[in-house]
Amino acid sequence: MNFTSDVKREIISRGISGGAAKKAALSAFVRTSGVLGETGGRRTFYIVSETENVAEFFTSLFGDTFGEELSVARASMDRMSGRDKLVLACMSENPEKLLRELGLLKRGGGEFSSGISRRTVPDEDCAIAYIKGAFLGGGSCILPAEGGKTGYHLEFVFPEKRTAEEFRGLLAEEELISKVVERSGAAVVYIKSKETISDFLSILGAESSLKKFSELVERRDEANRSNRAANCFSGNADKSATAAVRQVLAIRAIEREEGLENLETELKETARARLENPSLSLKELAEKLDISRQAVSVVSSCGWSPLVSRWLAAARSRARAW
């Protein structure tokens, strides 16, 4: 079972308390999953759900809130996702009245209103219930695969942009920062910050999902730290190799022009050790000579560099004379 299903199952198991909060959750669910229609000359609405336990939850919630039924109008398989798709129909004698109570119908009926009615979310409990309903109806939370390069992604899909923007504001009131993008005719509110997704799960009270999420974040962060350490080590190894090559070239130049025998004893021993061990780092070379790494570095910088500079100056002088 994927993480989205885990979170939705946990929201359902905790339930939603209070008449106003239930209406807020229903409003968000119908907003994200509902369509207006007509049957027997009466305007009604349908709810489409790909998740059976979510459909059952809102059927029960609808009955508790309005004393009305949502019945299965038809069931089919979605060709794109391969999942079963349930279409629930409102069987009320006055479905438009119910939609107005949910703040979803324009005056005069006919079509959904846009935006989120403030009377639907008058307080924080109702706001959180609305967020839960939106996630159950049109939300998903994708986690990166173990060892994968994809990131964290939480999103809510709305039929139009105004509602998405106002939902973004609702999230901001809970200190959940999100963005809105239009995609395939819909408006998507999304969050990619792992810290914000963690806060979202905490606000929903999804403790088991939060624990699972936190454990994944910790494993992924630890893997990233290990990779950075390995890359740093590799980078240092590359620098050491480059420095060793430059040292060997410098020693060869000195050997050709002046001979190593003319060098001071410490410098001569270090030069010969480097020629015999071109792949060793300064630390390894120091251990081989039984002196400190700093001493090798000082001898190298103070001895070879001036000699090479002197050799280059002489070479340029000969070139000009020629």
The domain spans of the chain are: 3-205, 236-321
Token pair belonging to 77: 């398989």
3-state secondary structure of 285: helix
Structure tokens at 31: 């907003």
Helix (H) or strand (E) holding 153: strand 153-158
CA distance 320 to 317: 5
Element (H, E) at 180: strand 179-183
Least confident stretch, 39-43, 154-158, 162-166: 39-43
Q: CA 79, CA 85: separation in Å to the nearest integer?
A: 10
Q: What is the pLDDT of residue 46?
A: 85
pLDDT at 312 (0 to 100): 47
- Look up residue 145 and give its DSSP letter: P
Q: What is the pLDDT of residue 250?
A: 75
- In this structure, are strands 153-158 and 139-142 parallel, antiparallel, or unpaired? antiparallel
CATH code assigned to 3-205 = 3.10.28.10
Q: Give 272's pLDDT tier (boundaries 50, 70, 90).
A: confident
pLDDT of 316 higher than 50: no
Q: Among the ranges 194-198, 270-274, 317-321, which has the highest mean pLDDT value?
A: 194-198
pLDDT tens digits, one per residue of 14-37 = 999 999 999 999 999 999 998 877
Report pLDDT for 126. 96
